[in-house]
Amino acid sequence: MLAHENSPLKQTPLHALHLARGAKMVPFAGYDMPVQYTAGVLKEHLHTRKDAGLFDVSHMGQLVLKAKSGKVGDAALALEKLVPQDIAGIAPGRQRYAQFTNDDGGLLDDLMVANFGDHLFLVVNAACKAEDEAHLRAHLSDTCEIVSLADRALIALQGPKAESALAKLCADVSSMKFMDAGPRRVADIDCFVSRSGYTGEDGFEISVPADKAEALVTALLDNPDVLPIGLGARDSLRLEAGLCLYGHDIDATTTPVEGALEWSVQKVRRSGGARAGGFPGADKILTQFADGAARRRVGLRPDGRAPVREGAGLFADASSTEQIGKVTSGGFGPSLNAPVAMGYLPTSLSAVGTTVFAEVRGQRLPLKVAATPFVPNTYKR
Amino acid sequence: MTTLYTSDHEWLRIEGDVATIGITDYAQSQLGDVVFVELPKVGRSLKKAEAAAVVESVKAASDVYAPITGEVIEVNEALAAEPALVNSDAGGKAWFFKLKISDKGELGGLMDEAAYAAHTA
Protein backbone atom coordinates (compact mmCIF):
# COMPACT_ATOMS: atom_id res chain seq x y z
CA MET A 1 0.00 0.00 0.00
CA LEU A 2 2.92 2.33 0.62
CA ALA A 3 4.74 1.40 -2.57
CA HIS A 4 4.93 5.04 -3.66
CA GLU A 5 6.25 6.30 -0.36
CA ASN A 6 9.78 7.00 -1.52
CA SER A 7 9.03 7.82 -5.15
CA PRO A 8 8.56 11.33 -6.52
CA LEU A 9 4.95 12.46 -6.21
CA LYS A 10 2.73 11.86 -9.21
CA GLN A 11 0.42 14.54 -10.56
CA THR A 12 -3.15 14.27 -11.79
CA PRO A 13 -4.16 15.88 -15.13
CA LEU A 14 -5.68 18.72 -13.05
CA HIS A 15 -2.50 19.59 -11.13
CA ALA A 16 -1.91 22.94 -12.90
CA LEU A 17 -5.54 23.92 -12.35
CA HIS A 18 -5.22 23.24 -8.60
CA LEU A 19 -2.15 25.46 -8.36
CA ALA A 20 -3.81 28.21 -10.41
CA ARG A 21 -6.76 28.16 -8.00
CA GLY A 22 -4.58 28.57 -4.92
CA ALA A 23 -4.74 25.00 -3.62
CA LYS A 24 -2.57 23.92 -0.71
CA MET A 25 -1.00 20.68 -1.94
CA VAL A 26 -0.12 17.64 0.17
CA PRO A 27 1.19 14.15 -0.61
CA PHE A 28 -1.62 11.56 -0.68
CA ALA A 29 -1.27 7.96 -1.91
CA GLY A 30 1.76 8.89 -3.98
CA TYR A 31 0.12 11.95 -5.57
CA ASP A 32 0.50 15.67 -5.00
CA MET A 33 -3.13 16.50 -4.15
CA PRO A 34 -5.11 19.59 -3.08
CA VAL A 35 -6.04 19.38 0.62
CA GLN A 36 -7.88 22.71 0.45
CA TYR A 37 -8.26 25.81 -1.69
CA THR A 38 -8.38 29.42 -0.55
CA ALA A 39 -11.88 29.07 0.96
CA GLY A 40 -10.63 26.55 3.54
CA VAL A 41 -11.97 23.18 4.71
CA LEU A 42 -14.96 24.53 6.69
CA LYS A 43 -16.38 26.70 3.88
CA GLU A 44 -15.65 24.04 1.26
CA HIS A 45 -17.53 21.45 3.32
CA LEU A 46 -20.56 23.70 3.89
CA HIS A 47 -20.61 24.85 0.25
CA THR A 48 -20.80 21.22 -0.91
CA ARG A 49 -23.80 20.55 1.35
CA LYS A 50 -25.55 23.78 0.27
CA ASP A 51 -24.62 24.15 -3.43
CA ALA A 52 -22.07 21.97 -5.21
CA GLY A 53 -18.45 20.97 -4.82
CA LEU A 54 -16.04 19.64 -7.43
CA PHE A 55 -13.36 17.13 -6.38
CA ASP A 56 -10.37 15.82 -8.31
CA VAL A 57 -10.21 12.10 -7.53
CA SER A 58 -8.04 11.19 -10.51
CA HIS A 59 -5.60 9.43 -8.17
CA MET A 60 -8.14 6.61 -7.88
CA GLY A 61 -7.77 3.58 -10.11
CA GLN A 62 -10.09 2.98 -13.07
CA LEU A 63 -10.15 -0.51 -14.57
CA VAL A 64 -12.04 -2.38 -17.24
CA LEU A 65 -12.83 -6.06 -16.69
CA LYS A 66 -13.91 -7.77 -19.89
CA ALA A 67 -14.58 -11.49 -20.37
CA LYS A 68 -12.70 -13.19 -23.19
CA SER A 69 -16.05 -14.71 -24.17
CA GLY A 70 -17.35 -11.18 -24.79
CA LYS A 71 -20.21 -11.72 -22.31
CA VAL A 72 -20.46 -9.30 -19.41
CA GLY A 73 -22.11 -12.06 -17.37
CA ASP A 74 -18.92 -14.09 -17.55
CA ALA A 75 -16.87 -11.13 -16.30
CA ALA A 76 -19.38 -10.72 -13.45
CA LEU A 77 -19.17 -14.38 -12.41
CA ALA A 78 -15.37 -14.17 -12.57
CA LEU A 79 -15.30 -11.11 -10.31
CA GLU A 80 -17.61 -12.89 -7.86
CA LYS A 81 -14.63 -15.18 -7.09
CA LEU A 82 -12.94 -12.18 -5.45
CA VAL A 83 -15.81 -10.24 -3.85
CA PRO A 84 -18.81 -11.24 -1.68
CA GLN A 85 -21.23 -9.13 -3.73
CA ASP A 86 -23.87 -10.08 -6.30
CA ILE A 87 -22.05 -8.84 -9.40
CA ALA A 88 -24.04 -10.93 -11.90
CA GLY A 89 -27.15 -9.15 -10.64
CA ILE A 90 -25.93 -5.66 -11.52
CA ALA A 91 -28.18 -4.59 -14.41
CA PRO A 92 -26.65 -2.85 -17.44
CA GLY A 93 -26.25 0.85 -16.62
CA ARG A 94 -26.10 0.21 -12.87
CA GLN A 95 -23.33 0.32 -10.29
CA ARG A 96 -22.75 -1.40 -6.91
CA TYR A 97 -20.41 -1.04 -3.90
CA ALA A 98 -18.11 -4.05 -3.36
CA GLN A 99 -15.02 -5.23 -1.48
CA PHE A 100 -12.09 -7.50 -2.36
CA THR A 101 -11.74 -10.01 0.51
CA ASN A 102 -8.73 -12.01 1.69
CA ASP A 103 -8.60 -15.61 2.98
CA ASP A 104 -9.15 -14.40 6.56
CA GLY A 105 -12.33 -12.56 5.56
CA GLY A 106 -10.56 -9.18 5.79
CA LEU A 107 -10.83 -6.48 3.15
CA LEU A 108 -8.07 -5.83 0.61
CA ASP A 109 -9.89 -2.78 -0.76
CA ASP A 110 -13.36 -1.44 -1.39
CA LEU A 111 -14.51 -0.49 -4.87
CA MET A 112 -17.34 0.44 -7.20
CA VAL A 113 -18.40 -1.97 -9.95
CA ALA A 114 -20.52 -0.80 -12.88
CA ASN A 115 -22.08 -2.84 -15.66
CA PHE A 116 -21.38 -1.01 -18.94
CA GLY A 117 -23.26 -3.54 -21.10
CA ASP A 118 -20.39 -5.57 -22.56
CA HIS A 119 -17.85 -5.13 -19.73
CA LEU A 120 -17.48 -4.09 -16.09
CA PHE A 121 -15.98 -0.74 -15.07
CA LEU A 122 -14.23 -0.69 -11.68
CA VAL A 123 -13.11 2.25 -9.53
CA VAL A 124 -10.65 1.37 -6.75
CA ASN A 125 -8.73 3.27 -4.09
CA ALA A 126 -5.54 5.11 -5.08
CA ALA A 127 -3.35 3.51 -2.42
CA CYS A 128 -4.43 -0.01 -3.47
CA LYS A 129 -4.72 0.30 -7.23
CA ALA A 130 -1.47 -1.46 -8.18
CA GLU A 131 -2.21 -4.34 -5.80
CA ASP A 132 -5.84 -4.54 -6.96
CA GLU A 133 -4.82 -4.74 -10.60
CA ALA A 134 -2.24 -7.44 -9.80
CA HIS A 135 -4.89 -9.33 -7.77
CA LEU A 136 -7.32 -9.25 -10.70
CA ARG A 137 -4.62 -10.40 -13.13
CA ALA A 138 -3.45 -13.20 -10.84
CA HIS A 139 -6.93 -14.66 -10.41
CA LEU A 140 -8.97 -13.73 -13.47
CA SER A 141 -6.53 -13.57 -16.40
CA ASP A 142 -7.57 -17.01 -17.64
CA THR A 143 -11.06 -15.80 -18.47
CA CYS A 144 -10.84 -12.00 -18.52
CA GLU A 145 -8.89 -9.08 -19.91
CA ILE A 146 -7.96 -6.45 -17.35
CA VAL A 147 -7.26 -2.96 -18.68
CA SER A 148 -6.04 -0.11 -16.50
CA LEU A 149 -7.49 3.21 -17.71
CA ALA A 150 -4.48 5.27 -16.59
CA ASP A 151 -5.18 7.88 -19.26
CA ARG A 152 -8.45 9.00 -17.68
CA ALA A 153 -9.09 11.57 -14.96
CA LEU A 154 -11.92 11.17 -12.43
CA ILE A 155 -13.86 14.04 -10.93
CA ALA A 156 -16.73 14.12 -8.48
CA LEU A 157 -19.45 16.77 -8.55
CA GLN A 158 -21.43 16.63 -5.29
CA GLY A 159 -24.20 18.58 -3.64
CA PRO A 160 -27.81 19.71 -4.16
CA LYS A 161 -26.86 21.81 -7.21
CA ALA A 162 -24.69 19.09 -8.83
CA GLU A 163 -27.52 17.98 -11.09
CA SER A 164 -28.34 21.46 -12.41
CA ALA A 165 -24.63 22.22 -12.93
CA LEU A 166 -23.96 19.01 -14.85
CA ALA A 167 -27.25 19.18 -16.78
CA LYS A 168 -25.99 22.38 -18.48
CA LEU A 169 -23.30 20.20 -20.11
CA CYS A 170 -25.28 16.96 -20.49
CA ALA A 171 -29.09 17.09 -20.47
CA ASP A 172 -29.18 13.32 -20.06
CA VAL A 173 -28.02 13.28 -16.44
CA SER A 174 -31.28 14.56 -14.93
CA SER A 175 -33.01 11.25 -15.58
CA MET A 176 -30.25 9.26 -13.84
CA LYS A 177 -30.99 7.74 -10.43
CA PHE A 178 -28.59 6.97 -7.57
CA MET A 179 -26.08 4.32 -8.75
CA ASP A 180 -27.00 4.60 -12.43
CA ALA A 181 -23.75 4.53 -14.44
CA GLY A 182 -22.64 4.52 -18.05
CA PRO A 183 -21.08 6.37 -20.96
CA ARG A 184 -22.43 9.90 -21.54
CA ARG A 185 -21.40 12.84 -23.73
CA VAL A 186 -20.60 15.74 -21.39
CA ALA A 187 -19.60 19.08 -22.96
CA ASP A 188 -19.03 17.11 -26.21
CA ILE A 189 -16.53 14.83 -24.43
CA ASP A 190 -16.93 11.04 -24.15
CA CYS A 191 -17.24 10.45 -20.42
CA PHE A 192 -18.43 7.73 -18.04
CA VAL A 193 -20.92 9.20 -15.58
CA SER A 194 -22.32 7.61 -12.43
CA ARG A 195 -24.81 9.15 -10.02
CA SER A 196 -22.84 8.43 -6.88
CA GLY A 197 -20.16 9.86 -4.63
CA TYR A 198 -18.52 9.97 -1.25
CA THR A 199 -20.20 12.86 0.55
CA GLY A 200 -23.73 11.63 1.37
CA GLU A 201 -25.06 14.21 -1.09
CA ASP A 202 -26.69 13.66 -4.43
CA GLY A 203 -24.03 13.97 -7.11
CA PHE A 204 -21.99 12.44 -9.87
CA GLU A 205 -18.62 10.93 -10.59
CA ILE A 206 -17.30 11.60 -14.07
CA SER A 207 -14.48 9.72 -15.77
CA VAL A 208 -12.99 11.86 -18.52
CA PRO A 209 -9.99 11.42 -20.88
CA ALA A 210 -6.97 13.03 -19.22
CA ASP A 211 -6.40 15.51 -22.04
CA LYS A 212 -10.00 16.78 -21.77
CA ALA A 213 -10.17 16.94 -17.96
CA GLU A 214 -9.12 20.55 -17.55
CA ALA A 215 -11.61 21.75 -20.18
CA LEU A 216 -14.46 19.87 -18.48
CA VAL A 217 -13.55 21.05 -14.99
CA THR A 218 -13.14 24.65 -16.17
CA ALA A 219 -16.60 24.49 -17.76
CA LEU A 220 -18.09 23.19 -14.49
CA LEU A 221 -16.26 25.77 -12.37
CA ASP A 222 -17.56 28.58 -14.62
CA ASN A 223 -20.86 27.96 -12.81
CA PRO A 224 -20.90 30.14 -9.66
CA ASP A 225 -22.68 27.35 -7.75
CA VAL A 226 -19.62 25.10 -8.10
CA LEU A 227 -16.47 25.49 -5.98
CA PRO A 228 -13.35 23.29 -6.09
CA ILE A 229 -13.10 21.19 -2.91
CA GLY A 230 -9.96 19.62 -1.42
CA LEU A 231 -9.29 16.33 0.29
CA GLY A 232 -9.78 17.93 3.72
CA ALA A 233 -13.48 18.57 3.16
CA ARG A 234 -13.81 15.29 1.23
CA ASP A 235 -12.82 13.56 4.47
CA SER A 236 -15.14 15.56 6.76
CA LEU A 237 -18.04 15.11 4.30
CA ARG A 238 -17.61 11.32 4.07
CA LEU A 239 -17.21 11.06 7.84
CA GLU A 240 -20.50 12.90 8.46
CA ALA A 241 -22.05 10.57 5.88
CA GLY A 242 -20.79 7.56 7.88
CA LEU A 243 -18.81 6.24 4.89
CA CYS A 244 -15.71 4.12 5.47
CA LEU A 245 -12.21 5.23 4.53
CA TYR A 246 -10.23 2.20 3.42
CA GLY A 247 -7.04 1.69 5.45
CA HIS A 248 -8.65 3.39 8.44
CA ASP A 249 -12.25 2.25 9.13
CA ILE A 250 -11.84 -1.01 7.20
CA ASP A 251 -8.70 -2.90 6.27
CA ALA A 252 -7.20 -6.37 5.80
CA THR A 253 -8.08 -7.26 9.43
CA THR A 254 -11.77 -6.25 9.36
CA THR A 255 -14.52 -8.36 7.81
CA PRO A 256 -17.69 -6.98 6.15
CA VAL A 257 -19.66 -8.07 9.26
CA GLU A 258 -17.26 -6.41 11.71
CA GLY A 259 -17.26 -3.34 9.46
CA ALA A 260 -21.09 -3.12 9.63
CA LEU A 261 -21.22 -3.59 5.87
CA GLU A 262 -23.68 -6.52 5.87
CA TRP A 263 -26.02 -4.44 3.69
CA SER A 264 -23.43 -4.62 0.91
CA VAL A 265 -23.45 -8.45 0.78
CA GLN A 266 -26.54 -9.53 -1.14
CA LYS A 267 -28.55 -12.59 -0.06
CA VAL A 268 -27.59 -14.56 -3.16
CA ARG A 269 -23.98 -14.74 -1.87
CA ARG A 270 -24.91 -15.60 1.74
CA SER A 271 -25.60 -19.08 3.13
CA GLY A 272 -28.65 -20.53 1.38
CA GLY A 273 -28.27 -18.19 -1.62
CA ALA A 274 -28.00 -19.49 -5.18
CA ARG A 275 -24.32 -18.44 -5.39
CA ALA A 276 -23.44 -18.59 -1.68
CA GLY A 277 -19.75 -18.30 -0.82
CA GLY A 278 -17.06 -18.84 -3.43
CA PHE A 279 -15.06 -15.73 -2.46
CA PRO A 280 -11.90 -15.57 -0.30
CA GLY A 281 -12.68 -15.82 3.40
CA ALA A 282 -16.24 -16.99 2.74
CA ASP A 283 -16.19 -19.52 5.61
CA LYS A 284 -15.36 -16.88 8.18
CA ILE A 285 -17.63 -14.18 6.76
CA LEU A 286 -20.66 -16.46 6.37
CA THR A 287 -20.12 -17.85 9.88
CA GLN A 288 -20.14 -14.27 11.17
CA PHE A 289 -23.37 -13.62 9.26
CA ALA A 290 -24.91 -16.53 11.17
CA ASP A 291 -23.33 -16.06 14.60
CA GLY A 292 -22.31 -12.41 14.69
CA ALA A 293 -18.82 -11.01 15.20
CA ALA A 294 -17.08 -10.08 18.45
CA ARG A 295 -16.58 -6.46 17.43
CA ARG A 296 -18.40 -3.96 15.28
CA ARG A 297 -17.79 -0.61 13.59
CA VAL A 298 -20.02 2.10 15.07
CA GLY A 299 -20.65 5.80 14.75
CA LEU A 300 -19.59 7.85 17.79
CA ARG A 301 -20.67 11.30 18.96
CA PRO A 302 -18.42 12.91 21.60
CA ASP A 303 -20.47 14.63 24.34
CA GLY A 304 -18.22 17.70 24.41
CA ARG A 305 -16.70 19.94 21.76
CA ALA A 306 -13.28 18.27 21.60
CA PRO A 307 -12.66 16.22 18.44
CA VAL A 308 -11.67 12.62 19.15
CA ARG A 309 -9.27 11.56 16.43
CA GLU A 310 -8.09 8.35 14.77
CA GLY A 311 -6.11 6.12 17.10
CA ALA A 312 -7.76 7.21 20.37
CA GLY A 313 -8.35 4.21 22.65
CA LEU A 314 -11.92 3.42 23.75
CA PHE A 315 -12.84 2.31 27.29
CA ALA A 316 -16.05 1.09 28.94
CA ASP A 317 -15.89 3.67 31.72
CA ALA A 318 -13.95 6.68 32.95
CA SER A 319 -11.36 4.74 34.94
CA SER A 320 -11.03 1.25 33.44
CA THR A 321 -7.51 0.34 32.33
CA GLU A 322 -8.71 -2.25 29.81
CA GLN A 323 -8.95 -0.81 26.30
CA ILE A 324 -12.00 -2.23 24.52
CA GLY A 325 -11.76 -0.55 21.14
CA LYS A 326 -10.28 2.18 19.00
CA VAL A 327 -11.34 5.23 17.04
CA THR A 328 -10.60 4.71 13.32
CA SER A 329 -11.75 8.09 11.97
CA GLY A 330 -12.56 11.21 13.90
CA GLY A 331 -12.71 14.92 13.55
CA PHE A 332 -15.08 17.84 13.43
CA GLY A 333 -18.30 17.73 11.41
CA PRO A 334 -18.90 21.24 10.07
CA SER A 335 -22.56 20.56 9.15
CA LEU A 336 -23.27 19.19 12.64
CA ASN A 337 -21.07 21.86 14.20
CA ALA A 338 -19.85 19.10 16.49
CA PRO A 339 -17.20 16.43 16.66
CA VAL A 340 -17.92 13.04 15.05
CA ALA A 341 -16.03 9.76 14.94
CA MET A 342 -16.17 6.11 13.95
CA GLY A 343 -14.49 3.18 15.61
CA TYR A 344 -14.67 -0.42 16.71
CA LEU A 345 -16.32 -1.64 19.92
CA PRO A 346 -17.23 -5.05 21.35
CA THR A 347 -20.58 -5.95 19.76
CA SER A 348 -22.10 -6.09 23.27
CA LEU A 349 -21.38 -2.34 23.62
CA SER A 350 -22.32 -1.35 20.07
CA ALA A 351 -25.99 -0.46 20.59
CA VAL A 352 -26.97 3.12 19.71
CA GLY A 353 -27.00 5.26 22.84
CA THR A 354 -24.31 3.31 24.71
CA THR A 355 -21.81 5.60 26.46
CA VAL A 356 -18.11 4.78 26.16
CA PHE A 357 -14.97 6.82 26.87
CA ALA A 358 -12.08 7.84 24.64
CA GLU A 359 -8.65 8.67 25.95
CA VAL A 360 -7.53 12.06 24.62
CA ARG A 361 -4.39 13.70 25.97
CA GLY A 362 -4.60 11.69 29.19
CA GLN A 363 -8.28 12.50 29.83
CA ARG A 364 -11.33 10.25 29.44
CA LEU A 365 -13.94 11.93 27.27
CA PRO A 366 -17.48 10.47 27.07
CA LEU A 367 -18.93 9.53 23.66
CA LYS A 368 -22.23 7.94 22.66
CA VAL A 369 -22.67 5.26 20.05
CA ALA A 370 -24.73 6.92 17.32
CA ALA A 371 -26.55 5.83 14.18
CA THR A 372 -24.90 6.65 10.87
CA PRO A 373 -25.10 8.55 8.62
CA PHE A 374 -24.67 11.43 11.09
CA VAL A 375 -26.04 13.77 8.40
CA PRO A 376 -28.97 12.32 6.39
CA ASN A 377 -28.02 11.46 2.83
CA THR A 378 -29.83 13.06 -0.10
CA TYR A 379 -29.39 10.43 -2.83
CA LYS A 380 -31.87 10.55 -5.75
CA ARG A 381 -33.25 7.03 -5.54
CA MET B 1 4.15 46.92 26.99
CA THR B 2 6.36 44.71 24.81
CA THR B 3 5.29 42.01 22.35
CA LEU B 4 7.63 39.08 21.83
CA TYR B 5 7.41 35.99 19.61
CA THR B 6 8.58 32.37 19.58
CA SER B 7 9.78 30.29 16.64
CA ASP B 8 6.67 28.11 17.29
CA HIS B 9 4.47 31.08 16.26
CA GLU B 10 3.23 32.21 19.65
CA TRP B 11 3.11 35.81 20.79
CA LEU B 12 3.61 37.12 24.35
CA ARG B 13 2.46 40.53 25.53
CA ILE B 14 4.50 41.50 28.59
CA GLU B 15 2.92 43.81 31.19
CA GLY B 16 4.89 43.91 34.43
CA ASP B 17 5.34 40.31 35.60
CA VAL B 18 2.41 38.99 33.54
CA ALA B 19 2.65 37.55 30.02
CA THR B 20 -0.49 37.23 27.87
CA ILE B 21 0.01 34.44 25.32
CA GLY B 22 -1.65 33.60 22.01
CA ILE B 23 -0.80 32.24 18.58
CA THR B 24 0.17 34.47 15.67
CA ASP B 25 -1.88 35.36 12.64
CA TYR B 26 0.64 33.37 10.59
CA ALA B 27 -0.04 30.31 12.80
CA GLN B 28 -3.82 30.55 12.43
CA SER B 29 -3.50 30.92 8.66
CA GLN B 30 -1.47 27.69 8.56
CA LEU B 31 -3.90 25.81 10.83
CA GLY B 32 -7.03 26.78 8.95
CA ASP B 33 -10.50 26.92 10.51
CA VAL B 34 -10.17 26.45 14.27
CA VAL B 35 -13.01 24.38 15.77
CA PHE B 36 -11.77 23.69 19.32
CA VAL B 37 -9.31 25.13 21.82
CA GLU B 38 -8.27 23.34 25.01
CA LEU B 39 -6.79 25.67 27.62
CA PRO B 40 -4.70 24.92 30.74
CA LYS B 41 -6.29 25.07 34.19
CA VAL B 42 -5.87 28.27 36.19
CA GLY B 43 -3.25 27.69 38.87
CA ARG B 44 -1.24 25.20 36.83
CA SER B 45 2.51 25.71 36.84
CA LEU B 46 3.97 25.42 33.35
CA LYS B 47 7.58 24.80 32.50
CA LYS B 48 9.05 26.39 29.39
CA ALA B 49 8.37 24.19 26.31
CA GLU B 50 5.70 22.13 28.11
CA ALA B 51 2.46 21.43 26.17
CA ALA B 52 0.05 24.02 27.57
CA ALA B 53 -2.93 24.20 25.19
CA VAL B 54 -4.31 22.46 22.12
CA VAL B 55 -5.79 24.12 19.06
CA GLU B 56 -7.77 21.94 16.66
CA SER B 57 -8.78 22.58 13.08
CA VAL B 58 -11.25 20.40 11.14
CA LYS B 59 -8.34 18.18 10.11
CA ALA B 60 -5.78 18.12 12.93
CA ALA B 61 -4.81 18.93 16.50
CA SER B 62 -1.75 21.08 17.28
CA ASP B 63 -0.08 21.66 20.63
CA VAL B 64 0.64 25.14 21.95
CA TYR B 65 3.75 25.12 24.16
CA ALA B 66 4.47 27.34 27.14
CA PRO B 67 6.99 29.81 25.73
CA ILE B 68 8.32 30.58 29.24
CA THR B 69 7.99 29.14 32.76
CA GLY B 70 5.19 30.48 34.92
CA GLU B 71 1.85 29.97 36.65
CA VAL B 72 -1.44 30.20 34.74
CA ILE B 73 -3.42 33.05 36.30
CA GLU B 74 -6.21 33.47 33.73
CA VAL B 75 -7.50 31.72 30.60
CA ASN B 76 -9.65 33.10 27.78
CA GLU B 77 -13.02 31.36 28.32
CA ALA B 78 -14.39 33.09 25.20
CA LEU B 79 -12.42 30.62 23.05
CA ALA B 80 -14.48 27.69 24.34
CA ALA B 81 -17.66 29.25 22.99
CA GLU B 82 -16.13 30.78 19.88
CA PRO B 83 -12.97 29.00 18.72
CA ALA B 84 -13.20 30.79 15.35
CA LEU B 85 -11.97 33.94 17.16
CA VAL B 86 -8.51 32.42 16.67
CA ASN B 87 -8.96 32.86 12.92
CA SER B 88 -10.56 36.30 13.03
CA ASP B 89 -8.41 37.98 15.71
CA ALA B 90 -5.40 35.81 16.58
CA GLY B 91 -3.31 38.71 17.86
CA GLY B 92 -6.09 40.31 19.95
CA LYS B 93 -9.36 38.87 21.29
CA ALA B 94 -8.13 35.30 20.80
CA TRP B 95 -5.44 35.36 23.51
CA PHE B 96 -5.12 31.91 25.12
CA PHE B 97 -3.84 32.33 28.69
CA LYS B 98 -1.93 34.62 31.04
CA LEU B 99 1.19 33.50 32.92
CA LYS B 100 2.78 34.99 36.00
CA ILE B 101 6.37 35.08 34.80
CA SER B 102 8.80 33.01 36.92
CA ASP B 103 12.06 34.12 35.34
CA LYS B 104 12.26 37.28 33.28
CA GLY B 105 15.64 36.05 32.05
CA GLU B 106 13.79 33.59 29.77
CA LEU B 107 12.36 36.53 27.78
CA GLY B 108 15.83 37.23 26.40
CA GLY B 109 15.61 34.15 24.18
CA LEU B 110 12.46 35.36 22.37
CA MET B 111 12.11 37.35 19.13
CA ASP B 112 10.96 40.92 18.67
CA GLU B 113 8.51 41.83 15.92
CA ALA B 114 11.21 42.45 13.30
CA ALA B 115 12.96 39.16 14.03
CA TYR B 116 9.64 37.27 13.89
CA ALA B 117 8.73 38.93 10.58
CA ALA B 118 12.06 37.73 9.20
CA HIS B 119 11.39 34.24 10.64
CA THR B 120 8.09 33.88 8.73
CA ALA B 121 9.24 35.64 5.55
User: CATH code at B91?
Assistant: 2.40.50.100
Query: Within a domain: residue B110?
Result: no
A334 touching B, CB under 8 A? Answer: yes
B99 found inside a domain? yes
Q: In terms of CA atoms, which chain B residue is nearest residue A361?
A: B54
Q: For B58, which of A306, A334, A361 is closest by C-beta distance? A: A334
Instruction: Give the Å distances, CA to CA, from A357 to A126, A297, A298, A338, B56.
Output: 33, 15, 14, 17, 20
Q: Which of A26, A41, A46 to mutate to test the interface with B (most CBs of B within 10 A)?
A: A41
In the prediction, which pLDDT does A48 show? 98
B66 lies in some domain? yes
E-assigned strand segments in B2-81: 2-5, 10-15, 18-23, 34-38, 45-46, 51-57, 61-65, 70-75
Q: Cα separations (Å) of A180 from A36, A65, B45?
A: 29, 18, 61
Among residues A98, A1, A48, the alpha carbon closest in space to that of A238 is found at A48
Residues of chain B contacting A332 with CB distance shorter than 8 Å: 35-36, 56-58
Q: Is B90 left (phi over 0), alpha (psi -120 to 50) or beta?
A: alpha
B88 vs A7, more confident: B88
For residue B38, is pLDDT > 60?
yes
Q: Where are the alpha helices (DSSP H) in B8-59?
A: 25-31
Asked if residue B119 is part of any domain, the answer here is no
Asked if residue B76 belongs to a domain, the reply is yes
pLDDT score recorded for residue A30? 96
Contact call for residues A236 and A48 (beta carbons, < 8 A): no
For A138-171, the DSSP string reads HHHTTTEEEEE-TTEEEEEEESTTHHHHHHTT-G
Q: Can you give the pTM of this predicted structure? A: 0.95
Which among B32, B54, B60 has the least Cβ separation from residue A36? Answer: B32
Give A235's contacts in chain B (Cβ within 8 Å). 59
Q: Using the CB atoms, write b or e for A204-221: b if 16+ within 10 Å.
A: bbbbbeeebbbebbebbb
Question: In the prediction, which pLDDT does A121 show?
Answer: 98
Query: Quick one: DSSP state of residue A10?
Result: B
**Pairwise CA distance, residues A301 & A274, whole Å:** 40
Per-residue pLDDT band at B121 (split at 50, 70, 90): confident
Residue A361 φ/ψ region, left for φ over 0, alpha for ψ in the -120 to 50 degree band, beta for the rest: left
Nearest by CB to A41, which of B59, B61, B83? B59
Residues of chain A under the 70 pLDDT cut: 1-6
Contacts with A68 (C-beta within 8 Å, 6 or more apart), sequence order = A74, A143, A144, A145
CA distance A331 to chain B (A): 6
Classify residue B114: in a domain, yes or no: no
pLDDT digits (tens, 9 = 90+) for A141-200: 999 999 999 999 999 999 999 999 999 999 999 999 999 999 999 999 999 999 999 999
A84: DSSP letter:
S
> For chain B, what is the domain count?
1
CB spacing of B58 vs A306 below 8 angstroms: no
CA gyration radius for chain A?
A: 21
Residues 6+ apart with CB under 8 A from A266: A85, A86, A89, A273
Closest Cβ opposite residue A305 in set B33, B36, B59:
B36
Instruction: Please tell me what DSSP assigns to residue A372.
Output: S
Q: Which amino acid is at A96?
A: R
Closest-CA distance, B3 to chain A, in angstroms, reads 29
Specify the 3-state DSSP secondary structure of B86.
helix
Q: Is residue B69 part of a domain?
A: yes
Residue B15 lies in a domain: yes
Going by C-alpha positions, the residue among A202, A335, A237 that lies closest to residue A36 is A237
- Domain containing B33: what range? 2-103
Which residue of A lies nearest to B34 if distances are taken between CA atoms?
A42
Query: Which contacts of A70-73 are long-range, i.e. CB under 8 A and separated by 24 or more positions?
Result: A70/A118, A72/A115, A72/A116, A72/A117, A72/A118, A72/A119, A72/A120
- Mark yes or no for CB contact A235/B36 under 8 Å: no
